[in-house]
C-alpha cells in the first residue's frame, strides 16, 4: 500500500522494537543499502542535515492532518518534534500557529521558528479552540486538554507516543464533538522534503540545535540533553 512506515518488519538502526535488536549508528563508519542514501541539497551542512530524521516525523504528522493552509493550528508540546511541527506549519502556510509547553525555553524557540503565540500552560490556560491540533507531549494527562481545544468537527493528530498500557480518554467528547482523531507514526517519503526544507531555512538548525559536543564530552552532552529549561537538540560530533 506504499505505507512503509507501517511495515510490521520495519528495522531502524538503534531500535529495540525487534529481537534481536538492530545495532545502532553510534559509530564513524557503517554499511547501508544504497536505497537508504539521500543526496544533500547544495549548501546543506551535515550539522543541518542530521535533523532530517526528526523533521521528517513532523512533516509526516502534518501530512496526516491534510491541508493546513489558512487554518488555525495549535501544537501542544514544544519539544524537538513539536518545534519541527511549528516550522513545518509555517512552511505549509498555516494561518495562525499557537504553541504550548510547561517551560519557557522551548517556547522561545517556537517563537523564533514562526509561532504566532506561545503559552506556558503552567501559568496560563488556553481557552480557544483550533481547526487542527497536534498533541506532541506524549503525556496521558495532556490528552483531555487537547480534545477540549480542538473545535467541533476539527482534526486532532496524536504525535506524542504514550507509555505502554491503557490510558483514560474522554471518548464521549471525541464522539459528541465529532472530532477526527488521527494517529501518526514515523515517516517515509518525507525525508527528501525535510532535507529540502532544511536547505531552504537553515536557521531551523540554528534554533533547534542548542549545543554541539565533541565525542570525548559525551557525558556532558547526555547530561544536558534532558534539561528542557535550556536544551532542545544536542549533537555529538563523531569527527576527529
For 76-85, how does the pLDDT look when each residue is reduced to its tens digit (9 = 90+)?
Answer: 999 999 999 9
Is a pLDDT exceeding 90 seen at residue 9? Answer: no
Share of the chain above pLDDT 70, in %: 99
The average confidence (pLDDT) of the chain is 93
pLDDT at 128: 95
| C-alpha span between 57 and 141 (Å, rounded) | 23
Choose among 52, 105, 116, 53: nearest CA to 78: 105
Give 137's pLDDT tier (boundaries 50, 70, 90): very high
Judged against a pLDDT cut of 90, whether residue 28 lies above it is answered with: no
Q: For the segment 39-60, what is each residue's pLDDT rounded down to a tens digit?
A: 999 999 999 999 999 999 999 9
- Kindly report whether the peptide bond that precedes residue 22 is cis, defined as omega within 30 degrees of 0: no
Domain extent listing, the chain: 46-161+168-185+196-208
Q: What is the pTM of this model?
A: 0.94
List, edge to edge, every strand of the sheet that includes 96-101. 117-120, 96-101, 72-76, 130-135, 150-158, 180-183
pLDDT at 10 over 70: yes
* CATH code that applies to domain 46-161+168-185+196-208: 3.40.50.720
Amino acid at each position: 500500500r506504499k505505507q512503509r512506515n507501517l511495515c510490521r518488519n520495519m528495522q531502524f538502526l538503534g531500535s529495540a522494537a525487534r529481537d534481536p535488536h538492530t545495532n545502532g549508528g553510534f559509530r564513524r563508519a557503517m554499511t547501508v543499502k544504497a536505497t537508504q542514501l539521500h543526496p544533500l541539497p547544495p549548501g546543506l551542512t551535515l550539522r543541518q542535515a542530521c535533523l532530517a530524521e526528526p523533521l521528517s516525523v513532523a512533516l509526516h504528522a502534518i501530512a496526516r492532518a491534510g491541508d493546513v493552509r489558512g487554518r488555525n493550528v495549535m501544537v501542544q508540546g514544544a519539544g524537538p518534534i513539536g518545534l519541527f511541527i511549528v516550522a513545518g506549519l509555517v512552511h505549509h502556510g498555516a494561518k495562525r500557529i499557537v504553541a504550548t509547553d510547561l517551560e519557557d525555553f522551548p517556547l522561545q524557540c517556537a517563537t523564533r521558528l514562526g509561532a504566532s503565540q506561545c503559552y506556558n500552560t503552567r501559568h496560563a490556560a488556553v481557552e480557544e479552540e483550533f481547526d487542527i491540533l497536534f498533541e506532541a507531549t506524549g503525556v496521558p494527562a495532556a490528552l483531555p486538554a487537547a480534545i477540549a481545544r480542538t473545535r467541533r468537527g476539527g482534526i486532532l493528530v496524536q504525535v506524542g507516543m504514550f507509555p505502554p498500557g491503557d490510558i483514560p480518554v474522554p471518548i464521549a467528547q471525541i464522539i459528541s464533538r465529532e472530532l477526527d482523531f488521527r494517529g501518526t507514526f514515523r515517516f517515509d517519503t518525507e525525508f527528501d522534503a525535510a532535507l529540502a526544507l532544511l536547505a531552504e531555512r537553515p536557521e531551523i538548525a540554528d534554533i533547534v540545535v542548542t549545543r554541539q559536543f565533541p565525542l570525548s564530552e559525551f557525558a556532558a552532552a547526555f547530561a544536558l540533553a534532558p534539561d528542557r529549561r535550556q536544551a532542545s537538540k544536542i549533537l555529538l560530533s563523531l569527527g576527529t
